[in-house]
Amino acid sequence: MPTITINKKRLLKNLNRKISDEELKEKISMLGTDLEKIEDNEIIVEIFPNRPDYLSEQMFSKALSSFMGVSEGYTEYSSKKLPSDYKVIIDSKVKSVRPYTVCAVVKNLSFDDDLIKEIIQTQEKLHVTFCRNRKKAAIGIYPMENITFPIKFTADSPEKIKFIPLESKIEMNGNEIVENHPTGKQYAHLMQGLEKFSYFIDSNNNILSIPPIINSEITGRVTNKTKDVFIECSGFDIYTLKKVLNIIVCSLAEMGGNVYSIPVIYPKNYSNSELDCDNSNNNSDETEIITPDFKCQEMKIDSEFVSNKLGRHFSKKEISGCLSKMGIGYDEKKEIAFIPPYRADILHKVDLVEDIAIAYGFFEFKPEIPQVATTGKEDLIEIFKKKIRDLMIGFGLIEVKNYNIVSYENQTSKLLFTDEESKDIVVLKNSLTVEYDSLRNNLLSSAMITLKNNKNSDYPQNFFEIGECFSLNENCAENTKLLLDKGVISNSFRFDSKVYDFPKLGVTLCSKESDFTKIKQILDGFFEGLGMNYNLERCSNKSSYIPGRAGDIFSKNKHLGSLGEIHPQVINNFDIEFPISYLELDLNSVYLSFIEK
Amino acid sequence: MSVLDELTNLELKILPILINNEKNEKGINIDNIIFQSGLKDIEVMRAVQWLSNKNLVTLNEKIDEFILLDVNGKEYVKTGLPEIRILNLIKDSEKSVSQLISEGISMEEINISIGQLKKNLSITLSKNDNNELVLFITENGKKFLQKESLEQKFLKKKFPLNINELLPEDKFAFDSLKKRKQIISVEIKKTITIFITENCKKISSDLSSVSNKIEKLTPEMIKSGSYKDKEFRSFDISSGVPKYNYGKKHFVNDAIDYVKKIFLEMGFTEMKGSMVQTSMWDLDSLFVPQDHPAREMQDTFYIKDPSEGKLQKDYISKLKKVHENGLFGLNKNEIDSRGWGGKFSEEIAKKNLLRTHTTVISAQTLAQLKDSDFPAKFFSVDKVYRNESLDQKHLFEFHQVEGIVIDPNANFTNLLGYLKEFFKKMGYDDVRIRPAHFPYTEPSAEVEVYIKETNTWIELGGSGVFRPEVVIPLLGKDIPVLAWGLGLERIIVPYFGFRDIRLLYNNDFKVLRHSKKWMM
């Protein structure tokens, strides 16, 4: 999760009172963020993804001071108008490249180095999180002194877009930036396959930027002489863009800037719903939206809803007080909440309920467990697995537990598996290493790894594992279906992924004395313990066993598993030096036979 | 208690052998004792060590080097050294290298032998038309054949040979053969010679009295009552015994059973489900936005084939609505609800993955409930997966503990009540919550428990009330669902004091065999 670094001195000045690190820590974490650490003048806070506004130090500090009751909670932001040539015109060409843009102007700022650092931090953290690494949206900030309105947002083939990008001394075209400029290279993947790049250009034909990659060195560098800025957010989701713009603009307003709105003029190939606006002026060829959009979202929420959700009575007055601490307005008469324009996380009134709970204080709620009678029930297969575990431990075997993700090579070629034996194995698409690149279909490779890792431990090494295996085989699906029909299991969505998991038992005997007799003794003991009969047929299609010393286990024609002496080549493949005899049973099959006996 | 009473069975068996050998100034070695006593070497070693501890014998360790025949050496004892075989083959007429090979001598042997034979002038070489080496015997060679070489003589000796007992001419042959491949090898052997001490001599006369005492109680003695006239020899009960390797449950399963029992006591029913799930169930159903970073390749394991699963038709259309536009139209009175916006993709929803949390099972459980089932409580303790590299602090698969309560009358305060009850049974005296964020709960809370020993609160899990955007598409109406979860391994690791989380699943028998039981 992203963290932001907050200047402690500035924060304390804002809070206007002395406060110990301990108390500050407590308050910050009770506000709904995670304090990482306080070090000298730096406070590092982890921000949850639902509060992108907290990625701005200004907005965080404002929220904390209102949460602590230092300042007035709910702020209404407003914007002024600019002369009529201050507008941004959207060319219809961008619709297929980078469809949406919202803009604003903020004047009378006094940028010192700290403030520049802060605004860059906000911009960057928003880019990484809320803007999904600039994939969804990107923010551009430009000093006003070098640009001339109106500004046009248009698109062209990259080689035709030429300007000096930030941190460069020479003019480059769009392709060169993507190929050679460090920032260009970093975001090149976002431009892949685009025939045209979108760009902002002013009325003097100065290029401002190619979003979401880079600004111009001439028109797009904020310095400590900058007083007035032009801001644009461009991207693919107009709601996100409006929120991002509001967060940036509100935090600049908190720094003392004056906000001016700008008309953004879209051509006729954009509909009102696409622009999330309700312009009734549909006759015109173009749609004008005024941004930033500071309109408060209104949401009805009453005392009964809040009290039912939280399990404690909240009066309207309390609701109003709590919401105010969280920077949200409330009309007690109409029971309507006013959500400030920088909040992006209020999707439903339960989000307001959480804010009320946070304001009231999570520690203040008195735990209360209702007396509701329900009967506990354990999963039947799990109970069965426990019984089998008891049996195995009684045989003097140690239980092991291995990962379900194993190496494909280990569970196929190293076990001498044929293609036929390997065909039901499930492979991962994006594993980090070949050591763990597939889901296990058998417990034998896990047993071999266990033995390999234990070459320095005493022998005999006799052990068992009850573990999940995975298969694409329809027989596994059939077993699951039977268990479902018989009411043994109840989740009916087990067929959705077409990958079936099922429990297996693997028993491994490894020592000088391990042989077929020893493992068959375990098999006999197992079925005696379950009160079942089995029959054994010589098996020839299981390559991991020594030919002639392996058997398939059946109960009334249902195949349950196999046992035998492991082929010495397999033992060599895992660098082990003792004979191994092995037994493996599909426990879904065993269970089905068990309940039918 | 006299020294005699402390003697173990093994010591008593070998003491008479040692005393019989008293006169021998060279002492007696272990092999001899093994031979005379019929005991196993390990038993004799242990007994000798104990006697030495009791100051009844002294041990004299000597290290000797022994020469053994290696693979080729054993072969040459039977067939003769290759240079001699070659000389015999060319005794009457010269032979080319390929002819020698066809006589069963390997290229490697030919190369070595040519070196040897040229050195003592037994052969001359020339090339034939095929540009191949041909070997001719010389007069020297013929003489050489007539008498046995030192090396051949050496190979006929009885191995192992003590290196210190070699005669000068043996030494020559040894040095020459040592340089050649796998003819002989040298093994270092430790011999222990045992001498009895004066102490031992003093007690030797009383030994017979001890031997009269009962050592091992036998069925015959019990049947006949012969033990009645005899005394039992007393044992040194403080002496250590070998480790006993018995069957044992894996300690993680011990902990799992413990957690399950708590849920069962609290009236919860266990829920199970597939490990491989569609993204629809694992993420979309829990209102995780489709562009959420957790869905990316570096966080989640996806399946190569089948890369897509099937979607539940009715349900996916509801999810699409909720994600794009919120709850409007899915439930009465839901006016102020907006989803994530954007376009919901069924292609993304179909993608198969290894479940990232057991909350997916909670969603599937909810989907199967009827009105008459409420209130209901469910739990699971099961595996979940994250695409991480395995290291000291991270596992790519681990166990998640999860509890949910579906109750029309439940609320946030009740969630706290359940948490308190559950964690108290888990052994934590106090529990408190802090604000947190999960996409599928609102309010969301981090759970902290109080640790008495260190007087601190530690973060142990997450909790919350399911969002209506999760519940309504599953149940058709907004019924409170309280939920909490935690990672099981986070409790197990400190209990066993492991520094490395991988120790949980590397199945080291030294750990597994001797781990303590889960006693919480």
Q: What is the pLDDT of residues B396-423, one digit of tens each?
A: 999 999 999 999 999 999 999 999 999 9
Using the predicted structure, report yes or no on whether residue A79 has a pLDDT greater than 60.
yes
Contacts of A411 (CB under 8 A, 6+ apart): A417, A425, A438, A440, A441, A442, A444, A445
pLDDT score recorded for residue A371:
87
Task: Take residue B436 and report the two structure tokens written for it.
Answer: 């947190």
pLDDT score recorded for residue A282:
56
Q: Taking CA atoms, what residue in A is nearest to B435? A: A32
Contacts of B126 (CB under 8 A, 6+ apart): B133, B134, B136
Q: Shortest CA distance to B6 belongs to which of B230, B165, B238, B225?
A: B238
pLDDT score recorded for residue B1:
53
Helix (H) or strand (E) holding A166: none
Q: Are B307 and A414 in contact (CB under 8 A)?
A: no
Torsion of CA A414, A417, A423, A428, to 10 degrees: -10
Check CB contact under 8 Å for B469 and A429.
Answer: no
Sign of CA dihedral A448, A449, A450, A455: positive
Which amino acid, one-letter code, is at B318? K
DSSP per-residue codes, B95-134: EEHHHHHHTT--HHHHHHHHHHHHHTT-EEEEE-TTS-EE
Using the predicted structure, report yes or no on whether residue A330 has a pLDDT greater than 70.
yes
Q: Helix count (H) and strand count (E) of chain A?
A: 18, 29
The Cα-based distances of A594 to A390, A435, A526, A533, A588 in angstroms read 17, 36, 12, 10, 10
pLDDT score recorded for residue B519:
67
- Indicate the pLDDT class of residue A281, thresholds 50, 70 and 90: low
pLDDT score recorded for residue B380:
98
Q: Scanning the structure block, which residue is given the tokens 């008593």?
A: B12
Contacts of A185 (CB under 8 A, 6+ apart): A178, A179
What would the mean pLDDT of A201-225 be, rounded to a whole number?
91
B257-275 pLDDT tens trace? 999 999 999 999 999 999 9
Q: At what angle do helices A57-67 and A21-30 cross, to 10 degrees?
A: 100
C-alpha gyration radius of chain B? 41
Cα–Cα dist B223/A459, whole Å: 37
Peptide bond into B443 cis (omega under 30): yes
Cα–Cα dist A593/A579, whole Å: 31
pLDDT score recorded for residue B328:
84
What is the pairing mode between strands A426-427 and A461-471?
A: unpaired
Which amino acid, one-letter code, is at A584? E
Ramachandran area for residue A438 (φ above 0: left; ψ -120 to 50: alpha; else beta): beta
Torsion of CA A380, A385, A390, A393, to 10 degrees: 180
pTM comes to 0.82
Which of A493, A499, A502, A588 should we substitute to test contact with B (largest number of B Cβ atoms within 10 Å)? A493
Tell me whether B252 touches chain A (CB under 8 Å).
Answer: yes
Nearest to B336 among A348, A375, A489 (CB): A348
Using the predicted structure, report yes or no on whether residue A113 has a pLDDT greater than 90.
no
Which amino acid, one-letter code, is at A229? V
Tell me whether B307 touches chain A (CB under 8 Å).
Answer: yes
Check CB contact under 8 Å for B264 and A378.
Answer: yes
Cα–Cα dist B330/B470, whole Å: 12
Tell me whether A308 touches chain B (CB under 8 Å).
Answer: yes
Q: Taking CA atoms, what residue in A is nearest to B354? A: A428
pLDDT score recorded for residue B78:
83
What would the mean pLDDT of A545-551 be, rounded to a whole number?
95
Cα–Cα dist A410/A405, whole Å: 11
What is the pairing mode between strands B441-451 and A426-427?
A: unpaired
Using the predicted structure, report yes or no on whether residue A13 has a pLDDT greater than 70.
yes
Task: Take residue A522 and report the two structure tokens written for it.
Answer: 């375990």
A470-524 pLDDT tens trace? 999 998 999 999 999 999 999 999 999 999 999 999 999 999 999 999 999 999 9
The distance of A469 to chain B (nearest Cα, Å) reads: 10
pLDDT score recorded for residue A583:
98
A240 neighbourhood in chain B, CB within 8 Å: 341
Cα–Cα dist A273/A28, whole Å: 39
A283-298 pLDDT tens trace? 677 888 999 999 989 9
pLDDT score recorded for residue A283:
62
- Which of the residues in chain B have pLDDT under 50? none
Please tell me the number of Cα atoms within 13 Å of A185 on its side-chain side. 4
pLDDT score recorded for residue B125:
86
Check CB contact under 8 Å for B291 and A132.
Answer: yes
A114 φ, ψ to 5°? -60, -45
